[in-house]
């Protein structure tokens, strides 16, 4: 790995990230950044494809008979934090920091993985194919993101998902399930103690949720957690006993439980009706003896369980979440990534994959 090669890749990655920052790409509105990525690959003479707002490419000597590794990150962003003091779409470098919306989550990861893909693109006799995909709708777990493009990528054996982890290895991540609940009662006049108060039924259920502890505790992710985050009735008058009360449970599950097990526990203990919005965002983990993880440990990288979800949850193969930047900066005002973090990301991705490819 020549320093000159890495320097050039780094320069191009930073310039690409500046273009992406300057172009709004909220979830479901990533058309223009998809065009930027298409233009970038076209200028390089790399065959590329688009599915919705997802852009993907395969290495020059792709061989369907070989196993494949996927390099993936997303190019959509959340909307700017209300406390921004800078123009979120103006990419400015100050004190080694590149400021702008999506710079840290996950632009630095995205362009570092693109640079890594370019490094391997023309190499012959690799043990694995290298496939790159920039996905859409990650921030909202949308159905037109990674799930839409996966069928076009060929048989993927394992992947790297670029999210800001300080280049440590997130070997497991919590699953997310949001559950809508309705407590059913009966309307009545509050002055006459009529009806059945749905709010009280909900409160009993919420009290159970608040105090319940799941038995299986993960060494990486800790306990699975139930948190009630929304509650309300349709009442507009103080003197009506509410016939219905709605509340929402945020479920963060470790890798030791399935969503069916969680739902079964709720069914046994809640009086309220409930329904999950989706069960797609499952908890995932990659084995500690997987070649990717072993290579990372050899390179001195730490590992941990991530409390947040990513497109990794939607992949039917082992994937390691790892990337430059710091998740603590994600979705914050005046978001930034260090320019040197991008260079370090490129170097470490290549060192990691060199041990496998």
What CATH number does the domain containing 51 carry?
3.40.630.10
> Based on the domain organization, do 237 and 118 belong to the same domain?
no
Answer yes or no: is pLDDT of 213 > 90.
Answer: yes
Q: Which among 258, 276, 294 is the end of a domain?
A: 276
Distance from C-alpha of 104 to C-alpha of 299, rounded to nearest angstrom: 23
Instruction: Name the DSSP class of 306.
Output: E
Looking at the structure, do residues 103 and 242 belong to the same domain, yes or no?
no
Cα–Cα distance list, 233 to 183, 190, 258 (Å): 10, 15, 31
Assigned domain for 1 exists:
no
E strand or H helix at 320? strand 319-321
Q: Same structural domain for residues 116 and 204?
A: no
Query: What is the residue range of 224's domain?
Result: 175-276
Same domain for 151 and 47, yes or no, is yes
Q: What is the mean pLDDT of residues 6-16?
A: 96
Within-domain flag for 297? yes
| 131 and 241 assigned to the same domain | no
DSSP H/E element including 348:
helix 339-354
- Are 86 and 57 found together in one domain? yes
Residues ≥6 apart with Cβ < 8 Å to 89: 21, 22, 23, 24, 100, 101
More confident call, 192 vs 24: 24
What pLDDT digit, counting tens, does each position of 160-187 carry? Answer: 999 999 999 999 999 999 999 999 999 9
**276, 305, 338 - which closes a domain:** 276
* CATH number of the domain where residue 241 is located: 3.30.70.360
CA distance 180 to 198: 15
Residue 331 lies in a domain: yes
Q: Does the structure show a pLDDT above 80 at 3?
A: no
pLDDT at 193 over 90: no
Asked if residue 123 and residue 30 are part of one domain, the reply reads yes
Question: How many percent of the chain have pLDDT more than 70?
Answer: 99
| Shared domain check, 330 and 311 | yes
Q: Give bridge partners of residue 49 from the DSSP assignment.
A: 56
* 221 domain-assigned: yes
Average pLDDT for 205-216: 97
Same domain, 64 and 23: yes
Tell me if 165 is assigned to some domain: yes
Burial 178-202 (b: 16+ CB within 10 A, else e): ebebebebeebeeeeeebebbbebb
Q: In what order do the strands lie in the sheet with 225-233?
A: 225-233, 244-253, 175-184, 273-276
Please indicate, yes or no, whether residues 222 and 247 belong to a single structural domain of this protein. yes
Contact 205, 183 (CB under 8 A): yes
pLDDT of residue 2: 52
233: Cβ contacts below 8 Å, ≥ 6 apart: 198, 199, 242, 244, 245, 246
Pairing assessment for the beta strands 319-321 and 158-161 based on DSSP bridges = parallel
CA dist., res. 311 & res. 319, Å (int): 10
Instruction: Kindly tell me the burial class for residue 3, based on how many C-beta atoms sit within 10 Å of its own C-beta (0-12, 13-18, 19 or more).
Output: exposed
Backbone angles phi, psi at 264, to 5 degrees: -65, -40
C-alpha 234/C-alpha 188 separation (Å) is 14
Q: Which residues contact 298 (CB under 8 A, 6 or more apart)?
A: 355
pLDDT digits (tens, 9 = 90+) for 20-57: 999 999 999 999 999 999 999 999 999 999 999 999 99
Is position 305 within any domain?
A: yes
> How many structural domains comprise the chain?
2
- Among 2-16, 49-63, 88-102, 199-213, the range scoring the smallest mean pLDDT is 2-16
Better-scored residue on pLDDT, 2 or 217: 217
In angstroms, rounded to a whole number, what is the distance separating the alpha carbons of residues 55 and 72?
A: 10
Closest to 190 (Cα-Cα) out of 231, 244, 236, 237: 237
Clarify whether residues 27 and 136 are in a common domain: yes
Instruction: Give a yes or no: residue 347 inside a domain.
Output: yes
At 1 the pLDDT is 47
Q: 8 pLDDT band (50/70/90 cuts)?
A: very high
The answer to whether residue 115 sits within a structural domain is yes
Residues 69 and 156 in one domain: yes
- Where a domain ends, among 276, 293, 312? 276
* Model confidence pLDDT, tens digit, residues 51-103: 999 999 999 999 999 999 999 999 999 999 999 999 999 999 999 999 999 99
């Amino acid at each position: 790995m020549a320093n000159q090669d890495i320097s050039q890749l780094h320069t191009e990655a930073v310039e690409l990230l500046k273009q992406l920052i300057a172009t709004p790409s909220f979830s479901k509105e990533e058309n223009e950044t998809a065009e930027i990525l298409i233009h970038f690959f076209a200028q390089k003479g790399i065959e590329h494809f688009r599915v919705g707002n997802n852009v993907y490419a395969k290495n020059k000597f792709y061989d369907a008979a070989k196993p494949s590794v996927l390099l993936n990150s997303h190019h959509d962003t959340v909307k700017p934090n209300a406390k921004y003091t800078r123009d979120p779409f103006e990419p400015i470098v100050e004190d080694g920091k590149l400021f702008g919306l999506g710079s840290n989550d996950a632009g630095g990861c995205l362009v570092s993985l693109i640079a890594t893909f370019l490094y391997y693109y023309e190499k012959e006799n690799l043990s694995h194919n290298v496939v790159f995909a920039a996905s859409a709708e990650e921030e909202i777990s949308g159905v037109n993101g990674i799930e839409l493009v996966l069928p076009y990528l060929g048989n993927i054996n394992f992947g790297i998902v670029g999210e800001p982890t300080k280049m440590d290895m997130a070997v497991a991540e919590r699953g997310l399930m949001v559950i809508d609940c309705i407590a059913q009662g009966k309307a009545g006049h509050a002055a006459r103690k009529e009806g059945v108060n749905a709010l009280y039924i909900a409160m009993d259920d919420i009290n159970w949720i608040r105090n319940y502890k799941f038995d299986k505790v993960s060494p990486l992710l800790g306990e699975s957690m139930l948190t009630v985050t929304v509650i309300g009735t349709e009442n507009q008058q103080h003197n009506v006993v509410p016939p219905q009360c709605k509340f929402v449970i945020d479920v963060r599950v470790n890798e030791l439980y399935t969503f069916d097990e969680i739902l079964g526990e709720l069914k046994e203990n809640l009086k309220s009706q409930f329904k999950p919005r989706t069960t797609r965002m499952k908890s995932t983990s990659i084995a500690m003896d997987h070649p990717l993880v072993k290579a990372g440990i050899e390179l001195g990288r730490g590992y941990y369980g991530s409390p947040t979800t990513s497109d990794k949850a939607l992949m039917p193969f082992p994937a390691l979440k790892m990337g430059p930047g710091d998740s603590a900066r994600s979705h914050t005002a005046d978001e930034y990534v260090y320019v040197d973090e991008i260079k370090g990301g490129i170097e470490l991705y290549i060192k990691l994959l060199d041990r496998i490819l």
